[in-house]
């Protein structure tokens, strides 16, 4: 993969258990345009607070990220550590402190082992000459069982560029504890206003459309940096190139988002929840999220039980406008219920067969309007309980 002008490094700083890299650095050889979306949780980690402040400038040149410690609920000292470590990076790289974004993921409420991070810094910066994006994807894992990466290549004015991304997160998705982080880089040149608009819109239909456990993280961050080193003329809104860029960005983010759900803590099923016929899109999303977050629906998925009544119940309490006599539901192409009641025939047996598959789609039609939404989720298994009961031990 050729993403011009970006360098990568990851080292073991002994924040996590021995033998695993836990401190990583992404560096753009030239200042990059950047924007980011952060958790809306009122309890925000120190690196989130610092990065929010810095991203307002619209630029960034480096990202320092660690796993194993979230640097959340760490008070003033957490802020001091975030500033201090990013200052070290800035110094080593010869850039301004403000050009360094900082991200952390891991346990909440424990102070960062700042001396270990300082000690690891020289090796981290030196590693930039030989590291790859894969190294970063691995270093940011916590309860993840596999690293998450995606890349796409496009052209603008005959010049090739790449959009690549990595992500982590397996629980606390809609997220909270193993917490979602995603970093997207591209060597394309993109006009700033268009970058921001398209990035936010794509995040909405990807990372903001997945849920594993309904918890929301103190650390969630999705950051994009584009450095223009591919040499194309900046992509502007409304141009044919803008549609291509947005499509590539969407493919990369949606792929990463789906990888997170597939790696959902203890997940045995990957479920696409599609709601149609809502009064408007916001209602459709409300209903889809209520289904995707219901413990009862998710345990039924785990049990391969075609218990469509629980899904109607979730739609009913979602807050979406609902006339129960108009609801219908299908698992893949098997209609389970129509006009609010059981479809009859052999649908129970056929629906159960669908639920035995590893991946399937739940379609709910509300029958009131044209609002639609799609959300991706996993089931709720014994393994989820095991992982989260014993997380810190």
Residues near a copy of itself, by CB under 8 A? 40-44, 70, 72-75, 77-78, 107-111, 171-172, 176-177, 213-218, 294-296, 299-300, 302-303, 305, 307-310, 312-317, 320-322, 324-325, 327, 337, 339-342, 380-382, 384-386, 388-393
Least separation in angstroms between residue 107's CB and a copy of itself is 7
Least separation in angstroms between residue 45's CB and a copy of itself is 10
Longest dimension (CA), the chain: 71
The set of residues, in sequence order, having a beta carbon less than 8 Å from that of 6 and lying 6+ positions away, is 26, 27, 28, 29, 133, 185, 187, 225, 227
Q: Quick one: tokens of 183?
A: 């970093």
Least separation in angstroms between residue 391's CB and a copy of itself is 7
Least separation in angstroms between residue 285's CB and a copy of itself is 16
Which parts of 94-205 fold into alpha helices (H)?
114-126, 133-139, 192-205
Active-site annotation holds for 179: yes
Residue 95 has a CB neighbour count (10 Å cut-off) of 17
Q: Which of 179, 211, 221, 276 is catalytic?
A: 179
- Cα–Cα nearest to 169, from 161, 159, 177, 157: 177
Which is nearer to a copy of itself, 72 or 156 (by Cβ)? 72
HSE-up of 220 (CA within 13 Å, CB side)? 24
Q: Quick one: tokens of 144?
A: 């993840």
Q: Quick one: tokens of 184?
A: 């997207």
Least separation in angstroms between residue 100's CB and a copy of itself is 23
- Cα–Cα nearest to 66, from 30, 129, 3, 113: 113
Strands 371-378, 210-211: pairing kind: parallel
Q: What is d(CA 122, CA 139) in angstroms, rounded to the nearest whole number?
A: 17
- Residues identified as active-site: 179
């Amino acid at each position: 993969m050729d993403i011009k002008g970006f360098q990568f490094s990851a080292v073991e700083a002994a924040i996590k258990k021995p033998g695993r890299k836990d401190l990583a650095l992404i560096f753009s050889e030239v200042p990059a345009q950047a924007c980011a979306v952060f958790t809306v949780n009122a309890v925000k980690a120190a690196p989130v607070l610092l990065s929010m402040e810095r991203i307002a400038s619209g630029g960034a040149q480096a990202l320092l990220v660690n796993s194993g410690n979230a640097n959340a609920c760490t008070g003033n000292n957490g802020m001091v550590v975030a500033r201090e470590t990013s200052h070290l990076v800035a110094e080593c790289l010869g850039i301004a402190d403000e050009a360094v974004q900082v991200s952390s993921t891991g346990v909440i409420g424990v102070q960062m082992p700042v001396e270990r991070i300082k000690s690891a810094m020289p090796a981290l910066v030196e590693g930039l000459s030989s590291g790859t994006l894969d190294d970063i994807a691995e270093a940011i894992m916590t309860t993840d069982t596999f690293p998450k990466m995606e890349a796409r290549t496009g052209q603008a004015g005959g010049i090739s560029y790449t959009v690549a991304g990595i992500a982590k997160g397996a629980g606390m998705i809609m997220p909270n504890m193993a917490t979602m982080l995603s970093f997207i880089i591209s060597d394309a040149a993109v006009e700033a206003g268009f970058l921001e608009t398209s990035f936010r819109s794509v995040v909405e239909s990807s990372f903001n459309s997945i849920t594993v456990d309904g918890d929301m993280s103190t650390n969630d961050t999705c950051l994009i940096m584009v450095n223009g080193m591919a040499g194309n003329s900046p992509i502007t809104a409304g141009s044919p190139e803008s549609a291509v860029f947005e499509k590539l960005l969407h493919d990369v983010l949606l792929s990463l988002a789906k990888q997170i759900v597939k790696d959902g803590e203890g997940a045995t099923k990957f479920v696409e929840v599609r709601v149609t016929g809502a009064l408007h899109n916001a209602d459709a999303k409300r209903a889809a999220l209520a289904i995707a977050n219901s413990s009862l629906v998710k345990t039924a998925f785990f049990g391969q039980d075609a218990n469509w009544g629980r899904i109607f119940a979730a739609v009913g309490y979602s807050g979406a406008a609902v006339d129960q006599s108009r609801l219908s539901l299908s698992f893949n192409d098997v209609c389970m219920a129509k006009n609010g009641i059981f479809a009859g025939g052999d649908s129970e047996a056929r629906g159960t067969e669908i639920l035995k598959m590893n991946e399937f789609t739940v379609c709910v039609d509300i029958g009131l309007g044209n609002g639609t939404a799609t959300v991706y989720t996993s089931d709720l298994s014994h393994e989820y309980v095991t992982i989260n009961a014993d997380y810190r031990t």
